[in-house]
C-alpha cells in the first residue's frame, strides 16, 4: 500500500501509470463512492454555491483497517486521514481524473444550474410578473380607461349635444332627393378625384365600377359560401318565421382565412379611382371600420328604410365630435331585383328626419337594366338612408353575397402632443368586424401580406404595438370603450353564454367575480366590462399575497438548506451562501419592478395618456368665442357660416355645408357667377356688390347664420355679413387669397380645438395676430362718409338680376372709362324687387321674441310667453310662459309669433291666478303696449260686467266665435294667399277680381270671415274661408 508521502510525490512527478497502478486506488467501490460524493457536492454548490471548495472528502477503502475509527498508526490509517488542503494538491488531484470526467462534471453543474433556474427562479419571476401585470392593468383602468369612458360618453349629455352641434336636425322632403337613377351616381374613370369627392358629398353615395376582377369575385364568393357552413359566430340579421331558418346573416371576415381574401382587399385598396377618392374624403390612409360579408337567401324579407348610424350621434350633426363612416358594398355576383338589390335614397345623408318619401322615391342599385354587376362597389355614407330588399329568386345558387368594407378617418393618436383627437366613432351602427381586424388602415390592407400577420396583427388590434412604418387605426379596446360608455354593447349576454359553455371555468372561483342575475336592462351593457375589471382587482389582491409567500419561501428554503448542510458538517460557516441567495431574492423582484416601472412611464408619457389626464381627449372646449347674438333655428334656405369645419384633418368635411346644404349651394353659385374681376373694383362698387348679394339672399328667404356666444346658431349683423361676402368673393377671384385665408382659418381653428386651447397664447395673442394678418390680406373696403352715417344703407345692386338697382348708377358705371368689359352689367330685363317674407310663419323667430305656445306641445290653447332658448339639434324652442313655467322642448310648429290683442277680440282669462278656472271675455281697451286690458266678461247666464286693467299673464286666446267647433282654419298672423276684391267692400276692380296675392291675417271676425293685409299694404276685409289658401 502506497504511503501519503509517496502518493504526493507521485502526483508531483506526474507519474500517472505507476501511481494509478496501486490496487487500493483502482477499487471500483472507491471510485463509485467518489463519483457519488462529487455529484452531491455539485448539486449543493450549484444550488447554493460557496466561495471556494477547500475541503476534500475522505476516500473510503474496503480494507477494514483503513476505516477503523480511532486508529492513528500505520501507513493505511495515515492515508485514510489525509486531506488535500492546498490548492496545489487539489490541482494535482484534478490532473489525476480523466479529462472526460471533468467535462461530465461541468455539464452536470450547468444542467443543475439550469434546473435551479427553471424550478426555482422562474416560478418566482412568474408570480411577481403576474402581480405586476394585474397591478398595471388596475392602474391603467383607474387612471386611463375609466376616465376615457367618461370622455367618450355621449348618452344623456344634453349640454354636449346642444353645444357641439355643427349642423341642425334637418327635416327633409322629396325635393332633397339628389338622384333618381344609378347612372347619376356612377364614378367613371374619366372623372377626377375632386369630381368623385363632390359626388360623395352631394349624393352621400357613389358607385365605383370594376373594383374586383371577375375571377377574384367568383372565388371570393365560393370561399364565403363555404365558410358560412363552418362559421358559428355569425350575426343573424333576418329570420324566416315560417320555416325558422336564417335568411340574412353576416360574420366578420379574417384576412388570413383564405388567400383569395388577401387578393380581394389588395385589389380594392389599390384601385386607381377608389383609393384617391377615399383619401380625399377621409384623409390619408383611412382606418378599417368594418370587414365582413352579408348573405341573403331565398325568403329574406324587405328591410325598413334606415341609416347605419343614428343621425343625432353622427358626423352629420356633430362633425367635430364624431368621425364620418363610409361603407363599401360589393356584390360578388350579378344581382337582380329578385335577388334583393339594395334600395338607395341619395341626398339623405344630411337629413335627421322626414324620410318617409324614400318609400316611393328611392331606386334600386340594379337600375333599369336590372343588374348590379359583380365587383361594382357602392361607397355609401352610413348616414344615407337605404334598405335591403326581399330575396324572391328561388333558382339554385342564387344567394346574394355582399362583401363589405367600411372606412373612417384614422384617430389622431400620434407621437406628437399637438395632435389632439376630439372625435369618436359614430354610434348606433352594427359591429360585425372580427376583433383581430381592428386597428388597421387602408395601407395595411393594400399590403396585407406584410402588415397583417400574427402576432403583429393581434397586437395592432389591441393597440399594443405597430411597426414604425404602419399607421394606427381604431383599436379594439377603444371601440369597446366607446360602446361601453354609451351602453351600445350587449356584453352581459356574451358573459352568460361564456359561463354556460364553460369558457370561464378556467378562472378559479375564489377570484372570479359573482355574476349578477338581477340587473336592470340599462346596466347589463356595462357588466361585461366591469366583470373583467373586478377580476383584475381580485387577481391583484391574490397575487400580492402570493408574491409575499413566494419571496418568503424562496428565502426560507435557501436559509434552511444552508443551515442543514452546516449542521451535518457538509459546509463550513465561511462557505455558507445566505447573502448570495438573499441578493437573488432581492434582485429578481427589483428586475420585475424595473420592467413594470419602465412600462408605466412609457404609458404615462404618451400623448394619448397626457390628453386623457388633461381631460381634452374626445372633448371640445365649451369656452365659446362667438358674438353675443340671440339664438335662432336654421332652415334649408339659410347660409351657414361655421369655423368649426376649418381643419385640415377633417379632409372633405370642410366643404360639407358648401355642397350638402341648399342655402350654401345656392349662395356658392351666386359667388361663382359674380366674383370675376371683383378684386379690380373700387371700394364703393365692392360694397354695392356685397350688399346686392345680401339682399338677394334675403329676398330668397334666407339669412346668414353663424355661432354666437353660447355656440348656437344666430343671425349675423350686417357688418359681419358684408365682411363674409367680401371674403368669399375675393377668395373666388384670387387663388392666392383663397390659399392664404384657408391657412389662417386652419390655424384659428386650432386655437379653439387644439391641445393648448386653454392657454393665454391660444385664447388671445395668436387669434389677434391671425386676425390682423387676415385683414391685411382681404383688405376690407371702407364705406363712404354718407354710408357711415346711414343706419341701414340700401343695396343698390350692380350685377344681380333680382336686386334693386339705380338706372342712373348703372349708366354711370357703363359709361365710365375705368370699367372693364367683365365689370359691365346688363340692364335689360331687371324684374321688380320681391317682397321679403319668412319661408313659413315663425321661421325667423329668435330668442327674446314674444310668442304664444301650445303647452307641452299637446294642448289646443295658446299661452303667451317668451323664447328663452333654442336647440337646433332637436329643432325645438325653450319657452318661458308669463306664469314663469318653462317648456323645454317646444316644436317649431307649436310656437307662433305673438300678435298683440286687439279691441273686440275674444280671449280667456283667469279671475284668480291661483286657480285653473278660465272665463271667456272680450277686450274693450288696451292699456299701453299691452301691459293691461279692460274686459267685458261673458257669463253663462248672458249677464255682462266690465273688468278693468287685468294683467297679461292671465290671458290666453280662445276659440274666436261659436261658429268654429274647433280652432279656426286660419289663425291671426298667418301668412297665406288671399283673393283681391278691391279696396272698398263690394267695389271690386275687374282687372284684379279674384286673383291671388300674398297676405297676412290681421283679424278673425265674429261672423267667421277674415281681414287680411296684402304685401303691398292694401287691406282685404270680410273675406270668406274660400277666399284664402295656405302657402
**Mean pLDDT of the region 671-679:** 92
Which residues have a Cβ under 8 Å from the Cβ of 66 and sit 6 or more positions away?
60, 76, 77, 79, 80
Q: Is the peptide bond before 455 cis (omega within 30 degrees of 0)?
A: yes
381 forms beta bridges with 326
The pLDDT-based confidence of 803 (bands split at 50, 70, 90) is very low
pLDDT recorded at residue 145: 83
pLDDT recorded at residue 950: 63
Residue 233 has pLDDT above 50, yes or no: yes
Q: What is the DSSP letter of 428?
A: S
pLDDT recorded at residue 153: 83
978 forms beta bridges with 997, 1028
Which residues have a Cβ under 8 Å from the Cβ of 152 and sit 6 or more positions away?
424, 481, 482, 485, 486, 618
d(Cα 860, Cα 528) in Å, to the nearest integer? Answer: 48
Contact 999, 1012 (CB under 8 A): yes
- Cell digits of residue 261: 381574401
Residue 638 has pLDDT above 90, yes or no: yes
pLDDT tens digits, 704-716? 999 998 889 999 9
**Mean pLDDT of the region 200-216:** 94
Range in 178-192, 249-263, 375-389 the model is least confident about: 249-263
d(Cα 924, Cα 916) in Å, to the nearest integer? Answer: 23
Q: What's phi and psi for 669, nearest 5 deg?
A: -60, -40
pLDDT tens digits, 864-886? 889 999 999 888 899 998 878 89
d(Cα 270, Cα 443) in Å, to the nearest integer? Answer: 9
pLDDT recorded at residue 1006: 64
The pLDDT-based confidence of 947 (bands split at 50, 70, 90) is low
* 3-class secondary structure, 216: helix
Q: Any idea which residue has 377570484 for its cell? A: 511
Range in 308-322, 370-384, 806-820, 951-965 the model is least confident about: 806-820
Range in 83-97, 202-216, 331-345 the model is least confident about: 83-97
Length of the chain: 1031
pLDDT recorded at residue 988: 39
C-alpha pair distances (Å), 593 with each of 117, 321, 406, 556, 610: 19, 39, 42, 22, 23
Range in 504-518, 536-550, 666-680, 719-733 the model is least confident about: 504-518
The pLDDT-based confidence of 822 (bands split at 50, 70, 90) is very low
- Cell digits of residue 765: 395673442
Residue 211 has pLDDT above 80, yes or no: yes
pLDDT recorded at residue 983: 53
pLDDT recorded at residue 821: 39
Parallel/antiparallel/unpaired status of strands 343-345 and 385-387 = antiparallel
**Mean pLDDT of the region 763-777:** 93
- Cell digits of residue 713: 346658431
Half-sphere exposure of 549 (CA within 13 A, CB side): 9
The pLDDT-based confidence of 529 (bands split at 50, 70, 90) is low
880 forms beta bridges with 866, 886
E strand segments, 221-297: 235-239, 246-252, 287-296
Element (H, E) at 949: strand 944-951
Range in 109-113, 626-630, 772-776, 857-861 the model is least confident about: 857-861
Query: Would you state the torsion angle of the CA atoms of residues 172, 178, 182, 188, taken in this order, to the nearest 10 degrees?
Result: -140
Comparison of pLDDT for 308 and 965, the residue scoring more: 308
* 3-class secondary structure, 773: helix
Half-sphere exposure of 621 (CA within 13 A, CB side): 21
pLDDT tens digits, 561-574? 778 877 887 777 77
d(Cα 546, Cα 541) in Å, to the nearest integer? Answer: 9
Residue 533 has pLDDT above 90, yes or no: no
Q: Any idea which residue has 376582377 for its cell? A: 213
Contact 767, 748 (CB under 8 A): yes
DSSP 3-state percent helix, strand, coil across the chain (nearest 5): 45, 15, 40
pLDDT recorded at residue 991: 47
In terms of Cα–Cα distance, which of 474, 476, 479 is closest to 440? Answer: 474
The pLDDT-based confidence of 89 (bands split at 50, 70, 90) is low
pLDDT recorded at residue 944: 54
Q: What's phi and psi for 368, nearest 5 deg?
A: -60, -30
- Cell digits of residue 483: 360602446
Q: What percent of the chain has pLDDT over 90?
A: 27
d(Cα 693, Cα 670) in Å, to the nearest integer? Answer: 8
Residue 463 has pLDDT above 70, yes or no: yes
Contact 66, 76 (CB under 8 A): yes
**Mean pLDDT of the region 668-672:** 93
Average pLDDT, the chain: 77
Parallel/antiparallel/unpaired status of strands 704-707 and 639-640 = parallel
Q: What is the DSSP letter of 774?
A: H
810 alpha carbon, distance to own chain's centre: 54
**Mean pLDDT of the region 343-360:** 88
Residue 384 has pLDDT above 90, yes or no: yes
pLDDT recorded at residue 205: 95
Element (H, E) at 500: helix 491-500
pLDDT recorded at residue 907: 81
Range in 101-110, 170-179, 454-463, 819-828 the model is least confident about: 819-828
Nearest-10 crossing angle of helices 521-567, 578-604: 160
Instruction: Count the Cβ atoms, other than its own, within 10 Å of residue 173.
Output: 12
pLDDT tens digits, 15-33? 344 443 444 434 444 444 4
In terms of Cα–Cα distance, which of 300, 304, 293 is closest to 331? Answer: 293
pLDDT tens digits, 134-186? 889 889 888 988 888 888 888 777 778 888 888 998 888 888 999 999 999 99
Element (H, E) at 112: helix 99-116
Amino acid at each position: 500500500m502506497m504511503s501519503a508521502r509517496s502518493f504526493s510525490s507521485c502526483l508531483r512527478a506526474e507519474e500517472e501509470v505507476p501511481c494509478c497502478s496501486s490496487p487500493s486506488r483502482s477499487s471500483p467501490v472507491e471510485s463509485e463512492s467518489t463519483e457519488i460524493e462529487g455529484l452531491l457536492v455539485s448539486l449543493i454548490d450549484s444550488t447554493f454555491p460557496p466561495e471556494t471548495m477547500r475541503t476534500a472528502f475522505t476516500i473510503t477503502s474496503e480494507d477494514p483497517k483503513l476505516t477503523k475509527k480511532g486508529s492513528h498508526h500505520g501507513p493505511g490509517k495515515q492515508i485514510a486521514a489525509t486531506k488535500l488542503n492546498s490548492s496545489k494538491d487539489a490541482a494535482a488531484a484534478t490532473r489525476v481524473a480523466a479529462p472526460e470526467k471533468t467535462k461530465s462534471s461541468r455539464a452536470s453543474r450547468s444542467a443543475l444550474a439550469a434546473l435551479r433556474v427553471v424550478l426555482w427562479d422562474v416560478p418566482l419571476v412568474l408570480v411577481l410578473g403576474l402581480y405586476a401585470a394585474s397591478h398595471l392593468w388596475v392602474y391603467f383602468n383607474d387612471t386611463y380607461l375609466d376616465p376615457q369612458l367618461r370622455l367618450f360618453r355621449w348618452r344623456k349629455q344634453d349640454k354636449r349635444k346642444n353645444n357641439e352641434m355643427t349642423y341642425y336636425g334637418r327635416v327633409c322632403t322629396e325635393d332633397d332627393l339628389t338622384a333618381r337613377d344609378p347612372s347619376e351616381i356612377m364614378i367613371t374613370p374619366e372623372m377626377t378625384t375632386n369630381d368623385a369627392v363632390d359626388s360623395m358629398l352631394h349624393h352621400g353615395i357613389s358607385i365605383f365600377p370594376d373594383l374586383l376582377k371577375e375571377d377574384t369575385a367568383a372565388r371570393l364568393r365560393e370561399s364565403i359560401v363555404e365558410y358560412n357552413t363552418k362559421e358559428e359566430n355569425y350575426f343573424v340579421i333576418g329570420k324566416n318565421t315560417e320555416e325558422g331558418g336564417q335568411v340574412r346573416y353576416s360574420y366578420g371576415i379574417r384576412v388570413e382565412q383564405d388567400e383569395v381574401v388577401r387578393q380581394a382587399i389588395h385589389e380594392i385598396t389599390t384601385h386607381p379611382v377608389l383609393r384617391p377618392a377615399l383619401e380625399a374624403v377621409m384623409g390619408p390612409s383611412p382606418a378599417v371600420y368594418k370587414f365582413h360579408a352579408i348573405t341573403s337567401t331565398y325568403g329574406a324579407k324587405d328591410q325598413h328604410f334606415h341609416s347605419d348610424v343614428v343621425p343625432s350621434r353622427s358626423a352629420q350633426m356633430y362633425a367635430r365630435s364624431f368621425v364620418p363612416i363610409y361603407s363599401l358594398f360589393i356584390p360578388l355576383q350579378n344581382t337582380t331585383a329578385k335577388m334583393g338589390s339594395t334600395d338607395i335614397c341619395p341626398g339623405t345623408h344630411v337629413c335627421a328626419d322626414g324620410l318617409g318619401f324614400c318609400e316611393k322615391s328611392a331606386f334600386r342599385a340594379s337600375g333599369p337594366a336590372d343588374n348590379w354587376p359583380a365587383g361594382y362597389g357602392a361607397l355609401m355614407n352610413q348616414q344615407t338612408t337605404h334598405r335591403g330588399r326581399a330575396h324572391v329568386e328561388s333558382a339554385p345558387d342564387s344567394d346574394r353575397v355582399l362583401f363589405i368594407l367600411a372606412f373612417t378617418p384614422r384617430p389622431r393618436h400620434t407621437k406628437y402632443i399637438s395632435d389632439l383627437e376630439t372625435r369618436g366613432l359614430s354610434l348606433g351602427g352594427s359591429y360585425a368586424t372580427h376583433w383581430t381586424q381592428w386597428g388597421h388602415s387602408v395601407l395595411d390592407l393594400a399590403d396585407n401580406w406584410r402588415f397583417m400577420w400574427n402576432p403583429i396583427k393581434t397586437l395592432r388590434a389591441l393597440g399594443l404595438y405597430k411597426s414604425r412604418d404602419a399607421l394606427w387605426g381604431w383599436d379594439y379596446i377603444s371601440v369597446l370603450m366607446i360602446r361601453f360608455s354609451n351602453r351600445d354593447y350587449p356584453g352581459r349576454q356574451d358573459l352568460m353564454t361564456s359561463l354556460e359553455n364553460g369558457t370561464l371555468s378556467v378562472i378559479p372561483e375564489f377570484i372570479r367575480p359573482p355574476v349578477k342575475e338581477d340587473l336592470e336592462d340599462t346596466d347589463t351593457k356595462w357588466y361585461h366590462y366591469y366583470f373583467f375589471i373586478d377580476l383584475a382587482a381580485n387577481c391583484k389582491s391574490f397575487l400580492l399575497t402570493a408574491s409575499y409567500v413566494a419571496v418568503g419561501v424562496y428565502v426560507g428554503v435557501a436559509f434552511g438548506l444552508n443551515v442543514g448542510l452546516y449542521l451535518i458538517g457538509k459546509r463550513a460557516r465561511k462557505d455558507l451562501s445566505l447573502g448570495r441567495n438573499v441578493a437573488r431574492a432581492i434582485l429578481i423582484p427589483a428586475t420585475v419592478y424595473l420592467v413594470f416601472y419602465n412600462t408605466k412611464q412609457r404609458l404615462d408619457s404618451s400623448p394619448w395618456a397626457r390628453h386623457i389626464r388633461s381631460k381634452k381627449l374626445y372633448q371640445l372646449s365649451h369656452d365659446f368665442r362667438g358674438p353675443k347674438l340671440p339664438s335662432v333655428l336654421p332652415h334649408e334656405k339659410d347660409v351657414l357660416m361655421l369655423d368649426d369645419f376649418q381643419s385640415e384633418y377633417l379632409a372633405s368635411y370642410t366643404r360639407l355645408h358648401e355642397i350638402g346644404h341648399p342655402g350654401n349651394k345656392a349662395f356658392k353659385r351666386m359667388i361663382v357667377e359674380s366674383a370675376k374681376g371683383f378684386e379690380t373694383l373700387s371700394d364703393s362698387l365692392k360694397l354695392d356688390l356685397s350688399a346686392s348679394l345680401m339682399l338677394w339672399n334675403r329676398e330668397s328667404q334666407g339669412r346668414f347664420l353663424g355661432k354666437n356666444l353660447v355656440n348656437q346658431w344666430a343671425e349675423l349683423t350686417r357688418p359681419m355679413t358684408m365682411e363674409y361676402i367680401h371674403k368669399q368673393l375675393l377668395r373666388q377671384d384670387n387663388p392666392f387669397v383663397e390659399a392664404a385665408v384657408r391657412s389662417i382659418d386652419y390655424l384659428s381653428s386650432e386655437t379653439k380645438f387644439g391641445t393648448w386651447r386653454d392657454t393665454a397664447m391660444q385664447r388671445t395673442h395668436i387669434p389677434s395676430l391671425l386676425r390682423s394678418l387676415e385683414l391685411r390680406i382681404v383688405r376690407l373696403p371702407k364705406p363712404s362718409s354718407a354710408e357711415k352715417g346711414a343706419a341701414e344703407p340700401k343695396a343698390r345692386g350692380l350685377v344681380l338680376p333680382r336686386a334693386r338697382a339705380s338706372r342712373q348708377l348703372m349708366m354711370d358705371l357703363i359709361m365710365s372709362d375705368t370699367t372693364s368689359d367683365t365689370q359691365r352689367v346688363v340692364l335689360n330685363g331687371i324684374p321688380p324687387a320681391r317682397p321679403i317674407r319668412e319661408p313659413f310663419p315663425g321661421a325667423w323667430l329668435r330668442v327674446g321674441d314674444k310668442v304664444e305656445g301650445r303647452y307641452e306641445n299637446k294642448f289646443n290653447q295658446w299661452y303667451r310667453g317668451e323664447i328663452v332658448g333654442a336647440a337646433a339639434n332637436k329643432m325645438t324652442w325653450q319657452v318661458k310662459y308669463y306664469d314663469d313655467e318653462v317648456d323645454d322642448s317646444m316644436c317649431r310648429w307649436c310656437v307662433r309669433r305673438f300678435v298683440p290683442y286687439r279691441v273686440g277680440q275674444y280671449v280667456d282669462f283667469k279671475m284668480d291666478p291661483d286657480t285653473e278656472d278660465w272665463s271667456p271675455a272680450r277686450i274693450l281697451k288696451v292699456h299701453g303696449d299691452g301691459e293691461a286690458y279692460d274686459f267685458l266678461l261673458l257669463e253663462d247666464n248672458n249677464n255682462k260686467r266690465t273688468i278693468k286693467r287685468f294683467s297679461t299673464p292671465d290671458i290666453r286666446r280662445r276659440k274666436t266665435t261659436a261658429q268654429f267647433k274647433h280652432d279656426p282654419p286660419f289663425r291671426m298672423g298667418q301668412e297665406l294667399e288671399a283673393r283681391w276684391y278691391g279696396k272698398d267692400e263690394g267695389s271690386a276692380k275687374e282687372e284684379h277680381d279674384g286673383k291671388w296675392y300674398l297676405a297676412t291675417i290681421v283679424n278673425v271676425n265674429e261672423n267667421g270671415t277674415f281681414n287680411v293685409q296684402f304685401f303691398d299694404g292694401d287691406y282685404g276685409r270680410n273675406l270668406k274661408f274660400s277666399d284664402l289658401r295656405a302657402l
